[in-house]
Every structure is written in C-alpha cells, then in structure tokens.
C-alpha cells in the first residue's frame, strides 16, 4: 500500500471515531473527485442545481467515509465513487418526483397539442445527431457510465466522451434557439 492510501486510511479511522478535523480534511481532499462525478450528471442543470448535486455528492462521500472498512481489501475510491453516484441518483430521483406532470385526458386538446409539439422537438433534435451519438445518448440517459457505453458499443472511452460533449453542445444550442 502506498503512503497516500495509508494516510487516507488513517484519516478515515480518525473520522470514524469522531474526529471532525479528519473528516474535514477528507472532504477537502476528495472534493475535486466529487466535482468530477457531478460534472457528468449536471450537463443541463442550472448553477443552483449543480451546487445542490455537489452538496449531495459530499454527503455521499461522508457516508462512504463512515462505512469504509480497511480490512475488506477494497479501495476507498471505489466505495466513494459508488456512494457519491448513488447520492446524486437519489437526489435526482427525488427532484424529478417533485415535478408532477399533469394527467392527460381525452378532452384535453391543448395539452395534447403541447405533447405533440414536444414530440416534434424531440424528433427535430434527434435528427441533429449522428447514429453513434443517438446510441451513446440513449445509453447515457439509461444510466450507463461512459466506460460501460464504450464497452457495449466497442469504441474507446474517449469516443464516448467526445460524443457526449457534442451532444451537450447541441442540446444547449437547441434549447437556446427554442426559448
């Protein structure tokens, strides 16, 4: 084990025993790690929502610190990644549940027109994407990681990352034109 991993393990043990300074040091040390994870889930969110995701990520990191068991031969970073990602997923799920969509009835002509217009927007945006970008975007929306998408499509991780960057750029442009 290298000295950095030993140092992290020592700080984790202190934090688990109630040392607030050790916990603060760990949160500070791993904050760039949390920001990197949040960046992938916050592509079309407002600054405030990104900040909320970051805070949720830090809460997930704190859970990982308290749950880590050095005797299990597992890297802390692996547990932290899973914990941060799950905290972000939980927040996004709760956030999306708060947004209630109106029920669609047979007599709601205006609502049906809105849904048809929305479907047209989706189809218009879809035509802006290449076949590869469509596949990558569908898998990304289903929750696959960049690595999983690369493995399933038989392409490099960088190709997936580049495709997602192009999709994000097109989404921003598309929605700025629509509004």
pLDDT tens for 9-35 read 888 899 888 888 888 898 889 888 888
pTM over 0.75: no
* Residue 103, domain member (yes or no): no
Supply the range of the domain harboring residue 78.
3-98
User: What was the pLDDT predicted at 155?
Assistant: 94
Q: What percent of the chain has pLDDT over 70?
A: 78
User: For 2-12, what is the mean pLDDT?
Assistant: 81
Number of C-beta neighbours around residue 69 at 10 A: 11
Torsion-angle region of residue 73: left (phi > 0), alpha (psi -120 to 50) or beta? left
Predicted local distance difference test score (pLDDT) of residue 154:
95
What are phi and psi for residue 67, nearest 5 degrees?
A: -95, -10
User: Which one of 43, 65, 98 terminates a domain?
Assistant: 98
**Same-domain check for residues 90 and 167:** no
Model confidence at 44, pLDDT cuts 50, 70, 90, reads low
Query: 104 in a domain, yes or no?
Result: no
Q: Could you give the number of structural domains in the chain?
A: 2
In this structure, the answer to whether residues 8 and 76 fall within a common structural domain is yes
Do 26 and 76 have their domain in common? yes
Are 74 and 119 within one domain?
A: no
User: Residue 32 is encoded by which pair of tokens?
Assistant: 């760039």
CATH code of the domain containing 32: 1.10.1740.10
Residue 140: give its domain's CATH number.
1.10.10.10
Report the candidate in 49, 37, 35 with the shortest Cα–Cα distance to residue 85: 37
- Predicted confidence (pLDDT) at residue 159 exceeds the cutoff of 90: yes
pLDDT band at 120 (very low <50, low <70, confident <90, very high): low
State whether 57 and 92 are in the same domain.
Answer: yes
Give tens-digit pLDDT for 83-118: 888 888 888 777 665 444 344 444 444 444 444 555
Considering the domain architecture, whether residues 79 and 129 belong to the same structural domain is answered as no
Query: The tokens 């890297």 sit on which residue?
Result: 75
Residue 130 has pLDDT above 50, yes or no: yes
- pLDDT mean over 55-65: 88
71 found inside a domain: yes
């Amino acid at each position: 084990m290298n000295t950095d991993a030993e140092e992290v393990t020592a700080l984790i043990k202190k934090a688990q025993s109630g040392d607030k300074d050790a916990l603060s040091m760990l949160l500070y040390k791993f904050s760039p790690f949390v920001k990197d994870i949040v960046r992938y889930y916050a592509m079309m969110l407002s600054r405030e929502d990104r900040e909320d995701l970051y805070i949720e990520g830090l809460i997930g990191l704190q859970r990982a610190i308290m749950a880590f068991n050095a005797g299990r031969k597992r890297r802390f970073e692996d547990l932290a990644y899973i914990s941060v990602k799950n905290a972000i997923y939980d927040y996004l799920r709760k956030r999306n549940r708060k947004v209630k969509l109106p029920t669609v009835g047979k007599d709601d002509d205006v609502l049906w027109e809105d849904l048809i217009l929305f479907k047209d927007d989706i189809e218009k945006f879809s035509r802006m994407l290449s076949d590869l970008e469509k596949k990558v975007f569908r898998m990304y929306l289903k929750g696959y990681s960049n690595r999983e998408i690369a493995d399933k499509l038989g392409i490099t991780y960088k190709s997936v990352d580049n495709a997602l960057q192009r999709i994000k750029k097109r989404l921003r442009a598309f929605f700025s034109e629509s509004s």
